[in-house]
């Protein structure tokens, strides 16, 4: 019986321990092992960028993991290097939410099975420190003045990753690509306005601290030292556990004089390494993916992690329709914009990162930074070829 | 579970281990037959004893180096990943001839030329990173030597609790480096780190250790100086203890003062110990990855030294062919430095038999 051969599946996930994501992945793996005692799992957590870098390196060395649980824009580099396989023929994709599938499509094929729909940033606030979310940036500045008087940090967010910059760019009506979807457009008036706004909120209005990366922001918010945080749907579960009804979820404040910030939406996806092509482990991996995205487990995910499901059947779950947290999350998605998946997006991310930091460290002006972003992205596009 | 992990790990290194085993056996047979039976050389046994080492070095150093050299002539990137990579001179033949000014620099050695022509990361070019690396190496080495020598001189005399002092001073060296560096990184936090808390307590402005380019570089240096002094101290203390007291007694009779004794006895006699320590220290500091990479939490390009820039170019920006060339450029710089240093100081002459 091939069915009973012992199989060990190595699963790399971007879900971290701090927000309960890793524990959830591990619980799914354990539940599967209970049903199929011959299948064991090694669940490895890697930070999003580390997961991408390590997977590319491991694939080159011929030591890929068996399954990835990651974000959609990894599909770009992974398909360019032919490291993952299309999933169209392996699953009945009609069961999943279209918007989530759309974000994993490239060249007419689907490269990931959606687990959660969203992965978008939003404004989360601690109701014991601030009663309601500021509606726009002017209100944010006003609220910040009050909070600072009480020695509370008004707002924290990850100032190291451009994923936190793109919502504001969208609010000014800017896009990172031209209409062809592959030519970077970073040196634009919209980008300059975005950088200027982030600069002003930091240095003029002192709305957020001098330094904060992901973990630093997360800690300040969890310890009740910061009133608001801009963070993604992946953090909802962890915060709901800590704050309970004190956790408020709202849209990122509207830019006064412009529009709502448009965070990137996509989701989290299972991706299957091409190394599994023709391997007898493939059947096990496919079966586990079906199990992990079944209606029951989607309902568990909604309850535990407060994420919007990617399975159509789970959308009618009363949890989705009644939870204020998920309502807020869904409301933010309304003004979201799909995250580009193409490989060229890597160039945009890598070009934006140092320049955004330079503006936030006060070492470059927004104009200089936007020009440098464009130059770096253009140079990067050339190196892709 | 663990058994699975062990077998899969063995499977991954198995081919290398097998190569070394089979290669060693073949080489030994060859040496034995050719040198021993045919040539009847008296060096047969030494050659046979060296055999396993030669095979091991070939598998673990020579082969990767050749693989890397081969990679440095290709255009490997994400779109040309693994076996899809082509040699730059082949790509060149298909390109527009008008765009090629020099076959040597635009085709054959394109990656090597690009190291100097294009930014090695997103904004910084090779030479600024190179000079920063030299500055980084110089600052660290001077402080390592001064601190290490100073402490070694203090410890090199009879006193109470010497063992305790020595243990305490070696502590930074004993902690796993990454853990020590990450602990330091936490302490450089703008609001909650102890240097800034101390600065604000005495009424000074807090320092942006992690986000300001200059201060971040200073932070890197501080951590590495703290980490590097114990090594120098231990090495130099060993050197000091091997200098006979008689020299100093004779010098005192001749009326030499403390400084005179230090200049004319201690320094020259420490030279054989100091030189290898300096060469090693330079290469270690020049190639120190952990401290610049981890203290530079915000990935400032202004804090990157050559090795960290190389890592980012290869594994964050996926410019594999380019990075292989970049790695060779760094290797050649260090090779030239070592040859030059050994030549000038003539240190290794002493070990000639």
A125-166 pLDDT, tens digit per residue, is: 999 999 999 999 999 999 999 999 999 999 999 998 999 999
CB contact, 8 Å: B251 with chain A? no
**Are the beta carbons of B211 and A357 separated by less than 8 Å?**
yes
How far apart (Å, rounded) are the C-alpha atoms in residues A203 and A207? 8
Spatial distance between the Cα atoms of A8 and A288, rounded to a whole number of angstroms? 12
With a CB cutoff of 8 Å and minimum separation 6, the contacts of A72 are A103, A104, A112, A119, A266, A267, A269, A339, A341
pLDDT tens figures, B102-152: 888 888 899 999 999 988 988 889 999 999 999 999 999 999 999 999 999
Residue B106, pLDDT score: 83
Chain A nearest-CA distance from B329, in A, is 19
A383 contacts B322? CB cut-off 8 A: yes
How high is the pLDDT of residue B137? 96
pLDDT exceeds cutoff 50 at A42: yes
* pLDDT the model gives residue A3: 54
Residue A316: pLDDT band with limits 50, 70, 90: confident
Q: Does B211 touch chain A (CB under 8 A)?
A: yes
**Residues above pLDDT 90, as percent of chain B:** 46
Tell me the chain A residues in contact with residue B308 when contact means C-beta distances shorter than 8 Å.
none
Using the beta-carbon criterion (under 8 Å), do A350 and B211 form an inter-chain contact? no
Q: Which residues of B touch A56 (CB under 8 A)?
A: 78, 81, 315, 318
Q: How far is B282 from chain A (nearest CA, A)?
A: 29
Q: Percent of chain A scored above 90 by pLDDT? A: 76
The pLDDT assigned to B5 comes to 64
Q: Residues A282-295: pLDDT tens digits?
A: 999 999 999 999 99
Reported confidence tier of residue B353, pLDDT bands at 50, 70, 90: very low
On the question of pLDDT at B351 being above 60, the answer is: no
Which of B81, B84, B123 is facing A372, going by the closest CB pair?
B123
Report the mean per-residue pLDDT for chain A.
Answer: 92
- What residue in A sits closest to B186 (Cα-Cα)? A216
Put simply, the answer to whether A357 touches B123 (Cβ < 8 Å) is no
Q: How close is the nearest chain A Cα to the Cα of B132, in Å?
A: 18
The alpha-carbon gap from B80 to the nearest alpha carbon of chain A, in Å, equals 7
- Is the torsion defined by CA of B296, B302, B305, B306 positive or negative? positive
Give the pLDDT score at A2: 47
> What residues of chain B lie within 8 A of the CB of A211, using their CB?
189-191, 208, 210-211, 298
Mean of pLDDT values over A331-341: 89
Q: Is B201 on the interface with A (CB under 8 A)?
A: no
Q: Which residue of A has its CA nearest to B312?
A: A53
- From A78-92, A348-362, B1-15, B168-182, the region with the lowest mean pLDDT: B1-15
A-B contacts at Cβ under 8 angstroms: 99
For the cut 50, the answer to whether the pLDDT of residue A108 exceeds it is yes
B318 and chain A: CB distance < 8 Å anywhere? yes
B60-85 average pLDDT score = 89
Q: Which residues of B touch A6 (CB under 8 A)?
A: 4
Q: pLDDT per residue over B297-340, tens digit each? A: 878 888 999 999 999 999 888 899 999 999 999 999 988 988 88
pLDDT value at residue B8 = 67
Q: What are the pLDDT digits (tens) for B251-268?
A: 999 888 889 999 999 999
Tens of pLDDT, residues B187-228: 998 888 899 999 999 999 899 898 888 999 999 999 999 999
Min distance B280 CA to chain A CA atoms (Å): 30
Which residues on A lie below 8 Å from B185 (Cβ)?
none
In the predicted model, what is the mean pLDDT of chain B? 88
Residue B302, min C-alpha distance to chain A (Å): 10
Lowest mean pLDDT among A311-315, B99-103, B233-237, B295-299: B99-103
pLDDT digits (tens, 9 = 90+) for A179-228: 998 999 999 999 999 999 999 999 999 999 988 889 889 999 999 999 99
Residue A4 has pLDDT above 80, yes or no: no
Q: Does B60 score more than 60 pLDDT?
A: yes
> What is the mean pLDDT of the segment spanning B237-241?
92
Q: Inspect the interface and report whether the beta carbons of B190 and A60 lie closer than 8 Å.
A: no
CB nearest to B78's CB, from A77, A210, A354: A77
Question: What is the mean pLDDT of the segment spanning A168-172?
Answer: 96
For the residues B228-249, what does the mean pLDDT come to? 92
Select the residue of A81, A209, A384 nearest B191 (Cβ to Cβ). Answer: A209
SS (H, E, C) chain A: CHHHCCEEEEEEECCCCCCCHHHHHHHHHHHHHHHCCCEEEEEEECCHHHHHHHHHHHHHCCCCCCEEEEEHHHHHHHHHCCCECCCCCCCCHHHECHHHHHCCEECCEECCEEEEEECCEEEEEECCCCCCCCCEHHHHHHHHHHHHHCCCEEEECCCCCHHHCHHHHHHCCCCCECCCCCCECCCCHHHHHHHHHHHHHHHHCCCCCCCCCHHHHHHHHHCCCEEEEEEEHHHHHHHHHHHHHHEEEECCCECCCCCCCCCEEEEEEEECEHHHCCCCHHHHHHHHHHHHCCHHHHHHHHHHHCCEECEHHHHHCHHHHHCHHHHHHHHHHHCCEECCCCCHHHHHHHHHHHHHHHHHCCCCCHHHHHHHHHHHHHHHHHHHC
pLDDT surpassing 70 at residue B348: no
């Amino acid at each position: 019986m091939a069915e009973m051969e012992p199989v060990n599946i190595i699963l790399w996930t971007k879900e971290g321990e701090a927000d309960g994501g890793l524990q959830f992945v591990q619980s799914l793996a354990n539940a599967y092992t209970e049903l199929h005692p011959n299948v064991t799992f090694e669940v490895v957590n890697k930070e999003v960028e580390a997961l991408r870098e390590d997977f590319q390196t491991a694939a080159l060395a011929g030591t890929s993991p068996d399954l990835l649980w990651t974000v959609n824009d990894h599909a770009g580099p992974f398909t360019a290097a032919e490291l993952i396989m299309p999933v169209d023929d392996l699953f009945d994709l009609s069961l999943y939410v279209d918007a989530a599938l759309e974000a994993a499509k490239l060249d007419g094929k689907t490269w990931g099975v959606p687990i959660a729909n969203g992965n978008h940033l939003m404004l989360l606030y601690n109701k014991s420190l601030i009663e309601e979310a500021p509606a726009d940036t002017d209100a944010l500045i006003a609220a910040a003045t009050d909070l600072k008087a009480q020695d509370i940090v008004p707002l924290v967010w990850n100032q190291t990753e451009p994923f936190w910059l793109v919502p504001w760019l969208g609010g000014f009506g800017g896009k990172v690509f031209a209409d062809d979807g592959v030519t970077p457009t970073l040196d634009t008036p919209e980008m300059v306005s975005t950088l200027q706004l982030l600069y002003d909120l930091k240095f003029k209005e002192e709305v957020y601290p001098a330094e904060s990366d992901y973990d630093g922001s997360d800690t300040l918010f969890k310890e009740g030292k910061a009133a608001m945080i801009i963070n993604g749907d992946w953090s909802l579960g962890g915060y709901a556990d800590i704050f309970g009804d004190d956790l408020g979820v709202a849209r990122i404040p509207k830019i006064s004089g412009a529009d709502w910030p448009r965070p990137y939406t996509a989701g989290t996806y299972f991706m299957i390494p091409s190394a599994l092509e023709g391997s007898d482990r493939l059947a096990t991996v496919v079966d586990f993916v079906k199990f992990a995205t079944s209606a029951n487990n989607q309902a568990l995910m909604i309850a535990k992690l407060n994420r919007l499901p990617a399975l159509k059947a789970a959308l009618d779950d009363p949890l989705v329709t009644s939870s204020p947290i998920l309502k807020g999350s869904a409301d933010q998605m309304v003004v979201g914009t799909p995250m580009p998946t193409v490989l060229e997006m890597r160039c945009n991310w890598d070009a934006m990162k140092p320049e955004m930091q330079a503006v936030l460290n006060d070492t470059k002006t927004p104009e200089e930074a936007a020009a440098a972003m464009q130059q770096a992205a253009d140079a990067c596009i050339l190196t892709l070829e | 579970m663990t058994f699975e992990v062990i077998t899969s790990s063995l499977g991954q290194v198995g081919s290398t281990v097998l190569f070394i085993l089979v290669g060693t056996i073949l080489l030994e047979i060859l040496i034995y037959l050719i040198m021993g039976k045919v040539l009847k050389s008296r060096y047969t046994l030494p050659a046979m004893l060296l055999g396993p080492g030669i095979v091991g070095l070939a598998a673990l150093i020579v082969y990767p180096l050749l693989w890397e050299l081969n990679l440095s002539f290709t255009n490997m990137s994400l779109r040309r990943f693994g076996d899809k990579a082509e040699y730059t001179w082949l790509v060149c033949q298909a390109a527009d001839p008008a765009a090629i000014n020099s076959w040597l620099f635009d085709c054959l050695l394109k990656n090597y030329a690009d190291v100097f022509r294009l930014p090695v990361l997103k904004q910084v070019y090779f030479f600024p990173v190179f000079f920063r690396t030299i500055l980084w190496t110089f600052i660290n080495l001077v402080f390592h030597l001064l601190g290490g020598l100073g402490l070694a001189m203090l410890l090199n005399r009879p006193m109470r609790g010497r063992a305790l002092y020595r243990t305490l001073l070696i502590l930074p060296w004993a902690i796993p480096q990454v853990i020590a560096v990450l602990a330091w990184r936490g302490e450089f936090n703008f609001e909650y780190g102890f240097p800034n808390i101390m600065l604000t307590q005495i009424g000074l402005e807090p320092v942006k250790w992690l986000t300001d380019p200059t201060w971040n570089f200073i932070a890197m240096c501080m951590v590495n100086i703290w980490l590097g002094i114990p090594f120098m101290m231990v090495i130099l203390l060993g050197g000091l203890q091997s200098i006979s007291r008689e020299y100093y007694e004779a010098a005192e009779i001749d009326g030499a003062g403390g400084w005179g004794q230090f200049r004319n006895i201690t320094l020259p006699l420490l030279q054989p110990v100091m030189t290898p320590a300096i060469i090693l220290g330079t290469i270690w500091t020049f190639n120190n990855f952990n401290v610049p990479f981890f203290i530079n939490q915000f990935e400032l390009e202004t804090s990157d030294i050559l090795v960290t820039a190389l890592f980012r170019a290869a594994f964050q920006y996926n410019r594999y062919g380019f990075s292989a060339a970049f790695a060779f450029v760094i290797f050649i710089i260090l090779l030239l430095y070592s040859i030059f240093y050994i030549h000038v100081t003539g240190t290794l002459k002493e070990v000639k038999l």
